């Protein structure tokens, strides 16, 4: 049972598109033209320039651009294990933060959209996205104040006679050392780059949660509650209703929100640097160093940028695959 709007006439009537008179193109052109032009000039063209720069070995600012198509030294450099770990770190942060935001954001959005009293909805939503009105840099600094050894968190824990935590220096895999017989295999994992900083996950999830909630709310608001009633009438348990009715209906919203959080998380280098301790180099910061650092290796920086763009393109492709279709029950 699809609740989508039926397909437009031009598909239902074959050949209609081909015979449109020229004047019918004026309206779409006028409406989409400015945005299209903006996209081409400010998105497509710069991306093509980055692509061109990435094909020139060792280009420096002011150098002559001579793209080479036979070998790709800028790209080959990326396969050096250090850089692989840097890109891996960025991807893991982005994916991890996206998952955390879905897990924490969906219940909040569901409650606001479906279960809270109607007259309070806008206020609740406003309250939740209020942090977005402050500078994101300030919010990251605030997390340092909360999580540092003599910070707010530990002051509260001390007052409650609980053990204090040093969350700024904890990795997400540190708990492995508490497992029995772990000394041999756990230590290399804890020391490797995969043991990402917990504080960064906290800081980044906090910053990106409002976006997740906002977009999920927009999707959940359109949820037809009668479908949920119908499902339970037909004998579905609440769990079955959730997974077989609610989630498929809101999948486009989940996909869109996840994409936004993923892309933003991938490009964030402020949180890893402020909260991530000594091993905090991310792909975004690496690119920054190539362009604005001492090496001025624009070719390598461009190649890295293209890799990030490709990662994002894969994410968008997944969005189209899982989020674009009309919901099927």
Partner 1 sequence: MRSGTSQSRSDQVGIYTWANYADETLIEGFTTQTGIRVLPQDKFPDNETMLARVLTGGGAAYSVISPSDYMVKKMMQSKLLQKLDHSRLNGLDTLLERYRSPDYDPDNRHSIPISWGTTGLIYNPEKLPDGPKDWSYLWDNKEKLSKKMTLLSDVREVMGATLRMLGYSYNSTSPKELEQAYNKLKELKPYVATFTTDTWQDQIVSGDLWLAMGYSIDAFSVISSQPNLKYVIPKSGTSLWTDTMVIPTSSPNISGAYAWLNYLLQPSIAAQYKRLNIASPNQAVLDQLSSDYRESPILFPPEALIKASEGIALVGDFSKVYDDFWTRLTSGS
Q: What is the binding site for partner 1 (CB under 8 A)? A: 61-62, 81-83, 85-86, 89, 141, 144-145, 148-151, 166, 168-169, 191-193, 195, 273-274, 276-281, 286, 289, 291-295, 297
Alpha carbons 305 and 34: distance in angstroms, whole number: 27
The residue (of 66 and 155) whose beta carbon lies closer to partner 1 is 155
Nearer to partner 1, 136 or 169 (CB): 169
- Cβ proximity to partner 1: between 116 and 169 the closer is 169
Task: Please say whether the beta carbons of 143 and 275 come within 8 A.
Answer: yes
CB-CB contact of 100 with 205 (8 Å)? yes
Of the two residues 88 and 267, which places its CB atom closer to partner 1 in the complex? 88
Rounded-to-integer distance, Cα 262 and Cα 254, Å: 12
| Measured distance CA(312)–CA(295) in Å, rounded | 26
* CA–CA gap between residue 209 and residue 232 (Å, rounded): 31
122 vs 187, beta carbon nearer partner 1 = 187
Backbone angles phi, psi at 172, to 5 degrees: -70, -20
Q: By three-state DSSP, how is residue 171 classified?
A: strand
Q: Quick one: CA dihedral 169, 206, 84, 62, positive or negative?
A: negative
Whole-number minimum distance, CB 299 to partner 1, in Å?
Answer: 12
């Amino acid at each position: 049972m699809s609740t989508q709007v039926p397909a437009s006439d031009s598909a239902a009537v074959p050949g209609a598109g081909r015979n449109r008179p020229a004047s019918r193109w004026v309206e779409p052109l006028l409406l989409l033209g400015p945005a299209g032009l903006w996209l081409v000039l400010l998105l497509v063209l710069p991306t093509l320039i980055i692509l061109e720069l990435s094909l020139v070995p060792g280009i420096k600012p002011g150098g002559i651009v001579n793209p080479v198509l036979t070998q790709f030294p800028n790209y080959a450099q990326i396969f050096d294990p250090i850089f692989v770990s840097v890109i891996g770190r960025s991807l893991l942060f982005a994916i991890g933060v996206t998952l955390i935001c879905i897990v924490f954001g969906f219940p909040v959005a569901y409650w606001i959209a479906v279960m809270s009293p109607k007259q309070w909805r806008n206020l609740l939503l406003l309250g939740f996205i209020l942090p977005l009105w402050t500078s994101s840099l300030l919010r990251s600094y605030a997390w340092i104040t909360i999580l540092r050894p003599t910070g707010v968190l530990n002051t509260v824990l001390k007052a409650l006679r609980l053990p204090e935590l040093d969350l700024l220096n904890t990795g997400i895999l540190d708990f492995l050392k508490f497992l029995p017989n772990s000394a041999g295999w756990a230590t290399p994992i804890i020391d490797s780059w995969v043991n990402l900083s917990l504080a960064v996950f906290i800081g980044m999830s906090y910053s990106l949660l409002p976006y997740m909630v906002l977009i999920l709310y927009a999707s959940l608001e359109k949820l037809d509650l009668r479908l949920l009633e119908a499902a339970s009438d037909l004998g579905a348990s609440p769990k079955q209703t959730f997974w077989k009715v609610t989630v498929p209906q809101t999948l486009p919203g989940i996909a869109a929100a996840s994409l936004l959080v993923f892309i933003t998380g991938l490009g964030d280098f402020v949180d890893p640097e402020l909260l991530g301790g000594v091993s905090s180099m991310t792909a975004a910061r690496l690119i920054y160093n190539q362009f604005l650092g001492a090496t001025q290796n624009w070719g390598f920086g461009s190649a890295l940028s293209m890799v990030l763009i490709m990662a994002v393109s894969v994410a968008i492709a997944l969005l189209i695959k899982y989020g674009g279709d009309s919901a099927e029950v």
